[in-house]
Amino acid sequence: MLDVARAAGVSHQTVSRVINNSPDVAASTRVKVMDTIKELGYRPSNAARALVTSQSHTIGLIVGESMILGVKDMISSIESASKSRGYFLSLSMVNELLCTQSDVDTIVESFEEQNVDGIIVIASTDAMFAAACKISSSISRVIVTSTHGSVSIHEGRALLNKYSNSTNAKFSIIGINQWRAMADVIGVINVRGHRDALYVAGPLMWRDAATRLTAWHKISQANGIRSRIVQCASWKSSESYSRLNHVIEQYGIEGLTLPSVIVTASDLQAIGVIRSLYEHGFRVPADVSVVGFGDDPGMSDFFPPLTTVNIDASTMGALAVREVLRLINGGPEFAFADMAHGVGLHPANVVLRSSLGQSHV
């Protein structure tokens, strides 16, 4: 570092500020120092920086093993955002449904040995959320999760306060605004005249599924939409396909007309639903409209292109990094688009495509 300072004609403190992305450096000085670093081939030692600053410039990340599409995008975004701010990422995985407190505690012990500055947990399930809230550590942490599940946000905050082994422990809970998104979904089907609907729910151990189902129940009822729930135990398209086959057969036996719209808790489920509809002679959207959730890759090229909700997982990942760095460095609190139950919420937007049409009932 001293060699860089001499060659650039600045103090070693200025070089340190540039390396650590401090805003207190003039743009021209930053460019000069970065050019000198490149010319000399200097690589800052993470261990040395930790000795000087008491920070390792490392963020620990805990995620589930299944790596569903939205989580993949979030992980990629977290890594990119961390790198851009001069931080390394240490990644560990757990089984979302079977993870125990011991599993998570073992990972956190490893993070403590690495002297990580902060921890991000993508808590997809109730098991992960409960374990993340019971971590006994003073390390700043951000939990990315949904607002509803068998463990409420209020209960989670109580656990965070109880188990954090420091009165100065900092934590934050953030997520996607599933309720606003579901209200928008119901709004677009309502305006197209759909008054009867099927809702294909996801596995309720997953907090996204629980939140979306709770939101669907309350908002659809408030809007006078009659609905039937088709409960799935997994996110697999094969399950939504087989369950809708059974529903269509039951409607036929009872002499009933299939509802004019089917809303699913995920795009994968929508794929299974559309296959079942076509195999039973229903056209989408001429006979039955379909709406998904997630805006997975390829949904704009699906036939018909799928109306869905873009959850913007990449931005959510960047927000998680921004939030954990705020906790680490003691910066001012950021404003989220919405707050609910003490959770900072990022909006998700409906993407209108051809699978949603007017009701003909």
The tens digit of pLDDT for each residue in 93-117 reads 999 999 999 999 999 999 999 999 9
Candidate CATH numbers 3.30.43.10, 3.40.50.2300, 3.30.70.100, 3.40.50.1580; the one for domain 178-311: 3.40.50.2300
Residue 81 has which token pair?
């955002």
pLDDT at 55 over 80: no
Instruction: Choose the most confident range, by mean pLDDT, from 21-25, 325-329, 350-354.
Output: 350-354
Architecture, CATH, for domain 56-177+313-346: 3-Layer(aba) Sandwich (3.40)
pLDDT top residue among 66 and 319: 319
Mean per-residue pLDDT for 333-342?
80
CATH superfamily ID and name for 2-44: lambda repressor-like DNA-binding domains (1.10.260.40)
* pTM (2 d.p.): 0.84
Distance CA 194, CA 259 (A): 8
Q: Which of 131-135, 164-168, 186-190, 340-344 has the lowest mean pLDDT?
A: 164-168
Burial tier of 94 (Cβ tally within 10 Å: 0-12, 13-18, 19+): buried
Percent of the chain with pLDDT over 70: 93
pLDDT-derived band of residue 361, with 50, 70 and 90 as boundaries?
A: confident
Average pLDDT over all residues of the chain? 91
Element (H, E) at 340: strand 338-340
Distance CA 361, CA 359 (A): 6
> Residues spanned by CATH 3.40.50.2300 within the chain?
56-177+313-346, 178-311
Distance CA 46, CA 136 (A): 26
> Residues spanned by CATH 1.10.260.40 within the chain?
2-44
pLDDT-derived band of residue 51, with 50, 70 and 90 as boundaries?
A: very low
- Is 44 within 8 Å of 73 (Cβ atoms)? no
Mean per-residue pLDDT for 178-199?
97
pLDDT of 54 reads 57
- Is 31 within 8 Å of 53 (Cβ atoms)? no
Query: Strand pairing of 140-144 and 118-122?
Result: parallel
pLDDT of 332 reads 79
